[in-house]
Each structure stands twice: as structure tokens, then as C-alpha cells.
Structure 1
């Protein structure tokens, strides 16, 4: 594969009917998660805490199969936890891959960020975006690499986690054999405000010592959040996870602080400018109906990375892995086809 060789790509043309025998339908996802997925994952899960930057305890998980094909590392998105990835982890294991996953600082069970004077427990904040990358490197160095041997190591990184993953690939060579960047954060969607205004506001607010305040339009976790405002069009997958959040307050995350936003703007600038440093095969999955990140930054990244192609999902919202069946099933086939190309 060569740079810019066919910007948009497709792997499979398998019928939805045939995929229904392989993947769970959104119609009965709650039942499948409770009675199939979770009992299966419980057989393999090992929970780990590593020491992150500033002595923060960073929660991680691993699911190790005997004689697995390769190891996949998951880097999740903004305000998420690994609880949202149970269905995807199940499919990875069913395909013969061991899974290693990290819960980024300030998310889920990872270290409290109380020293930042967060407004409430659901706010997303961070001292420096670099800490996300350094936590991920610590996890990979101390857990993933020692257990990988000669097996391929693949990255699956979504949204904010895709931005973290891209920066990791730019700064640290030789760790991964291939990567999927799923709707990666390479340019933030700033809504009705032009990006340069949003950046200026973030810089000013942080400079005046109010970086812990919520970004305009953001706020605490909302109990009655609407499907239409979410990152998926799968009603049942959305409702099931939202119900889980309502029952488990420690996983609730919502809006960003200005400090997080300022750091994120700086990170996305670096990601796009240094795309040429990424030299492993990358499939960037782009959502046609994304309202959380913009495609312009993703397109620039693809143009400059050495071995990167876009797979466009025109009807998908931000979370392809969490979408309705007609989107998520072909998407899963695509990512497995991609990974198979780079097995050693």
C-alpha cells in the first residue's frame, strides 16, 4: 500500500442477513450482553492498575486467549469507560485476538483529578494532554509488550482516544504493526462558534485562572439525555448503556473544562502537523454524520501519513462500533479484514 493510493476503501460486500448469524442485533442487545457477553468476558478479564503521571492510579484490563492471533490495545473516547466496549471486546475475542485496554485518567475507575478542582465528578479535565499519551505508553511498556512476544500488536483508538493514539504513533515508533483510528479527534467540532474564536476563548479563560469552568454549552451528566444528541443512531445500544450509567454514577462523565479544551486544541494541531511521522498501516474510519469531530483534520492527516487510508461510513454518527446493525456489522467486518492483512 502506498500513500494516497485510493483515498476511500472498502473490504467486504457481505450481506446483512449473513452477518446476523455472526453479530448480535440491537433488538435484543441487553439480553445478549447480560447472558452471553458478560459471562464470557468474566472468564478472561484481569483488572490491573498502573502508576500514571502525578502518581495517578490508572485502571486497565486485559483479556488473554491461549494461542491468540495478535494483541489489540483499546484507547477509548471522551467521557467513556471500558464498560461501553464489552460488545466490541467480545467480538475481538471471538475473532481470536487478546485484548488490552486502558481507562484514561479522569474516566471510569482511573485516578481522581480532584487536584484540578473539577466542578463536579462528571466533568472531564486534564492537566496536560501529554499525560494521556504517557499513561498509555506506561501501560504498553509494562503490560502489553512483555506479554506479546512475536505476535502482532494492533491499536484500536476511538475519538479522543484516536487523538491519543495518533500522537502515540507519531512519537513512539515500533510499538504497533497496524492501527485503526475510529472517528479520531483531529479537529474538534466547535458547533456554531468558529474554531479560532473557540480557541481564543479557551486561552483567555485558562489565562485568567478559570480553566476548570465548563466549556460554554457543556455541563454535568444529564439524566434525560436524548438519543438525537448522542453519538449513535442505535436506540437500544444507546438506551442500554445510558441505563447502566444511571445505575452506576462512578462511570458518569459529561462536559469538558476549558483547560481540557485548550489542551485538546494544542494536541489536534500537533497530530495534523506531524502526520508524516506515522509510518505503519492505518485505517481511519470516518463517520459521515459526525457532530463531535470534523473530517477536515482527518483528511489532512490521511494526506500526510505514509500508509493511511480512509474508510467512510456515510450514514454513521460518531460511534461506528456502537451504531445500528446495518452500519456496525459491515464496519466490524471491515476492521477484521484490515487487521488480518497485518498478522505476522
Structure 2
């Protein structure tokens, strides 16, 4: 039984969504800073009084801030200030691909450098600083703490992208083919099977089993061209696979000296479970929690999963 109350059908009742937006609007401030290659990086911050700490949210592939509205609300309600930026090539941080909705990156380290600038210039305070990172954001966050192990006090990884779903192909083989595509001049082309953004309603292929939460995010994205993103480029794939290889290197994992909570869903077909399991086995600071009948977006799942997930997170932060 959950100790706290969460929305049973967030997204189904539009009045609930509007009330959350209104309540968060009182403490919301937005802005931008100059990241790598002079790219403008958009961010939002939600500062609460008498904060227990500050949580940085690192979002996933093709996502934007809107997807984390409910999560932001719960964290602020529990006394944590939230800082969230849209990674380069996502949302209001600009389009970098050959198509307006393509996700592209020249060097995965740019994500890391942007995050460091965000903390140093916007978040500033490093005492009681926590990281909440999902999917691609988990790759960015984990690579960050391997390079800069003193920034965060604790880290929460949800479905981190430690493997990219390309059938049963191992990361090493996928990396070879991605490099081959770049050599063949396909660097800026969509990865096979990836397409530009499409507005068609497709809950069957969604990363959550909760349709009302899917509906909320679908409405937000379809009504705002600035946050619409589709698939990735071969260069993004190549850079991401290199980053995963770096993260899973035992010597780099040894740099981690803070507690990590890693969540996985049994129905996650986007990143699978092998990469996360391998990381948890190699990282003595990591605790792996697996949810049966959960998809990739655990933070948007049905309430029977979401309640346990959030309760576990808040207990972890407050220990």
C-alpha cells in the first residue's frame, strides 16, 4: 500500500492536468544557456521553499520537458526543487538533424558538457544534488558521474540506455555497422526503421501501458511543433553506442562512488534488460529493481507500478 497519493488517471481528466500546470506555474522559471558549439539549451526550474535538495532530470531520446510534468509535480510536492533542460537537438534546444524532427549528435560528449554547464551556471548549488535520468538521459547521466564523480549525492536511473534495441545484435556488432554507415556517407540519414515524427495515434506501440498518461503526452506533442521529434541519425547511433561502451567499461565504473537505484521493466523492448543487468553486476554501488509488467516509461506506468516506483525513490532519497 502506497504511503502517498498519486493521480489514478493522470491525463484522462484534462482538468487535473491543467490544475497541475497551474500549480507548478507559480514556481516555474524558464531560460536558456549557451552549450557546446554555441547551441542554445532550453531549461526550466521549479524551486520550492525549504527544499530538501535539488533534482536534475535528464530526459530520454526524442523527449521533452512536457513528458515529465507529473514527475515534476510529485518531486516538488515532496520538497525537492527540480531543474530540467532539453538536451541539444531536442525540444526547444534546436534541431540538429537533416530533417526538422530527426535526433542527431556530432559527439556524445556534447551532452555531457552541456549538463556540466547547466549544473555550474544554472543549478549552481551542489549540496544535496540528485540525478533522475531516463533512457538516453541515463546514458548521459551515467557517463557524467563516471567523468565527474563528486557532483551528485545519489542517482536514479530508469530504463537506462545501456543497450540499443537492434534485434539480437550485440552493441559491438551494431557499433561496427553504424561506423560502416557513416563511412558510406549515411551519417545524416535516418537509422533503418526510424522515420521523421508522425502525429498518428499509436498507443499499441507506446512505451507505457497506461493509456491516459500516453494520451496526455500525445496531446502535448501533437499541438506543439517545437517539441516534435522522430527517429535518430546513424551518427547519433554511432555516438550513443560508443558512449555505452565507455559506460560499461569496468575501469570507468570504478569511478562511481555514490548510491545508484536502477529500475527496469520486464516489457521494455527499447533498451532491454541485458545492459542494465551488466552494469549493476559491475557497479557495487548500484541496486537493481525490476518491475514485472512494466514497459520502458516506468514513470508513466499504471498506478500499481507507479506507486511502488515513486515510494521507493523517495525512501531512497531520504535515507
What TM-score does the superposition give when structure 1 sets the normalisation length?
Answer: 0.88
The number of equivalent residue pairs is 317
Residues 115-157 of structure 1: CA distance to partner in whole angstroms, max 9, x if unpaired?
xxx2321111011110000000000011212x45xx4111000
Find 1:297's aligned residue among 275, 295, 306.
Answer: 275
Q: For 1:26, what is the secondary structure of its paired residue?
A: coil
- 1:42 counterpart = 2:25: yes
| 1:157 and 1:180 in contact (8 A); partners too | yes
Find 2:241's aligned residue among 265, 268, 272.
Answer: 265
- 1:109 counterpart = 2:92: yes
- Looking at structure 1, the residues matched to 181 and 71 of structure 2 have their Cα atoms a distance apart, in angstroms, of 38
Find 1:77's aligned residue among 37, 60, 67.
Answer: 60
- Looking at structure 1, the residues matched to 10 and 200 of structure 2 have their Cα atoms a distance apart, in angstroms, of 21
- 1:339 counterpart = 2:288: no
Residue 123 of structure 2: aligned partner: 144
- Looking at structure 2, the residues matched to 40 and 26 of structure 1 have their Cα atoms a distance apart, in angstroms, of 18
Q: Shift of the alpha carbon at 1:197?
A: 4.4
- Looking at structure 2, the residues matched to 225 and 189 of structure 1 have their Cα atoms a distance apart, in angstroms, of 22
- Looking at structure 2, the residues matched to 28 and 38 of structure 1 have their Cα atoms a distance apart, in angstroms, of 12
Residue 114 of structure 2: aligned partner: 135
- Looking at structure 2, the residues matched to 155 and 27 of structure 1 have their Cα atoms a distance apart, in angstroms, of 24
Q: Residues 250, 111 of structure 1: CA spacing in aligned structure 2 closer, same or farther, 3 A cutoff?
A: closer
- 1:248 counterpart = 2:224: yes
Gaps of 5+ in 2: none
- Looking at structure 2, the residues matched to 112 and 209 of structure 1 have their Cα atoms a distance apart, in angstroms, of 20
Find 1:92's aligned residue among 38, 59, 75.
Answer: 75
Q: Shift of the alpha carbon at 1:74?
A: 0.4
Q: Shift of the alpha carbon at 1:34?
A: 3.2
Moved over 2 A (4+): 27-35, 191-201
- Looking at structure 1, the residues matched to 197 and 11 of structure 2 have their Cα atoms a distance apart, in angstroms, of 26
- Looking at structure 1, the residues matched to 78 and 88 of structure 2 have their Cα atoms a distance apart, in angstroms, of 29
| 2:53 and 2:80 in contact (8 A); partners too | yes
Higher relative contact order (CA 8 A, sep 6+): 1
Gaps of 5+ in 1: 1-13
Residue 6 of structure 2: aligned partner: 23
Q: For 1:71, what is the secondary structure of its paired residue?
A: strand
Residue 10 of structure 1: aligned partner: none
- Looking at structure 2, the residues matched to 288 and 166 of structure 1 have their Cα atoms a distance apart, in angstroms, of 21
Find 2:137's aligned residue among 161, 173, 188.
Answer: 161
Q: For 1:283, what is the secondary structure of its paired residue?
A: strand
Residues 11-64 of structure 1: CA distance to partner in whole angstroms, max 9, x if unpaired?
xxx25xx65xx1111265442543321001110111121110000000111111
Q: Shift of the alpha carbon at 1:193?
A: 4.8
Moved more, 264-273 or 188-197: 188-197
- Looking at structure 2, the residues matched to 46 and 192 of structure 1 have their Cα atoms a distance apart, in angstroms, of 44
Find 1:310's aligned residue among 285, 288, 298.
Answer: 288
Residue 275 of structure 1: aligned partner: 253
| 1:280 and 1:306 in contact (8 A); partners too | no
- Looking at structure 2, the residues matched to 281 and 196 of structure 1 have their Cα atoms a distance apart, in angstroms, of 28
Q: For 1:109, what is the secondary structure of its paired residue?
A: helix
